[in-house]
Amino acid sequence: MIRDLFRYIATPAPPAQRRLGYLRDSIWLQSRAHRCRAAWAPHLAASRDVMRAAIATRGRRDTVVVLGSGLLADVPLAALTDAFRRVVLVDAVHPLATRRAVRALAQVELLTADLSGAMALLTGHASDLKPCLPPVCAEPGTDLVISANLLSQLPIRPVARLEGGRRAYGPWTPQDGDAFGRRIVEAHLADLARLSAQICLVTDLDETEEDRAGHVVERHDLLYGVALGASDHAWTWELAPFGEIARGRRLLHQVAGFTDWRP
């Protein structure tokens, strides 16, 4: 509790990220990652393996961009810094641990940005969703762009804000949550598809809530019905083992990994 409060105060984050809850989410994610470290280890290792496989297929290695770099728990930072001249890490919030990990690495840049395209709309600075990849993704020197367990996260805060309020944001009303979420997922994929760089995409697809007998209690499509096609890697991430959300329930996510994604 005290550590979370310290992190909340000490982590640099723009006002929009604080106001919309992204900083709180980042700190909460760090705490859950620590509590669930044993359950998460296979998922983090599998994610890093997909990214390493993507690095290995690249001939030219000038710049790599990691979208949703967060805690760098599922990102093979050493493999990236060994292979690329320049490593750009992009997230809404860069945790203190990440800032410490890269402080001495001259080739690593931290870029704080909204990748959902929704923050400006939700803070009254835009009239609709906006294109959201930072320009570095489309620079000629950028050879690899990694979307690192980010895609399913992009709609969460914006949809919760839209559905939880009594007002419209641009053309979106509180009843439009699913369509709004789907548009955010589709926009990220469309933005990636336009890039000439190789795209490595790792994302969870759906969430299953199970009881101790293995019965499925609930299931959610995390991508709002958007299909990605057949992945080269697939695994199950035990996001919340028994006891994390309830004594008799656990949450499982299906994850897909693409070393060279194209729609």
Ligand X SMILES: C[S@@+](CC[C@H](N)C(=O)[O-])C[C@H]1O[C@@H](n2cnc3c(N)ncnc32)[C@H](O)[C@@H]1O
- Point out which residues bind ligand X (CB under 6 A): 22, 26, 29, 68-75, 91-93, 114-116, 148-150, 153-154
Cβ-based nearer residue to ligand X, 46 or 154? 154
Report the relative pairing of strands 198-211 and 233-240 from DSSP bridges. unpaired
> Which residues fall within 8 angstroms of residue 111, CB to CB, at 6 or more apart?
88, 89, 90, 134, 136
Q: What are phi and psi of 186, to 5 degrees?
A: -60, -40
Q: Least CB distance from residue 110 to ligand X, whole Å?
A: 12
Asked if 66 and 48 count as a contact pair (C-beta separation under 8 A), the reply is no
Nearer to ligand X, 34 or 103 (CB): 34
Least distance in angstroms from the C-beta of 212 to ligand X: 26
Closest approach, Cβ 100 to ligand X, in A, equals 14
Residue 86 or 158: the one with the smaller Cβ distance to ligand X is 158
CA atoms within 13 A on the CB side of 144: 30
Cα 145 to Cα 169: distance, rounded to the nearest angstrom: 30
DSSP label at residue 56 = H
Residues 6+ apart with CB under 8 A from 220: 206, 207
> CA 197 to CA 140: how far, in whole Å?
8
Give the nearer residue to ligand X in terms of CB position, either 91 or 238: 91
Q: In whole angstroms, how close is the CB of 62 to ligand X at the nearest point? A: 22
| CA neighbor of 227 nearest in space, from 199, 200, 201, 197 | 201
Query: To the nearest whole angstrom, how small is the minimum distance from the Cβ of residue 214 to ligand X?
Result: 25
Q: Closer CB to ligand X, residue 70 or residue 177?
A: 70
Q: How far is the CB of 39 from ligand X (least distance, A)?
A: 14
User: By C-beta, is 213 or 261 nearer to ligand X?
Assistant: 261
Q: Residues 234, 240, 242, 245: is their CA dihedral positive or negative?
A: negative
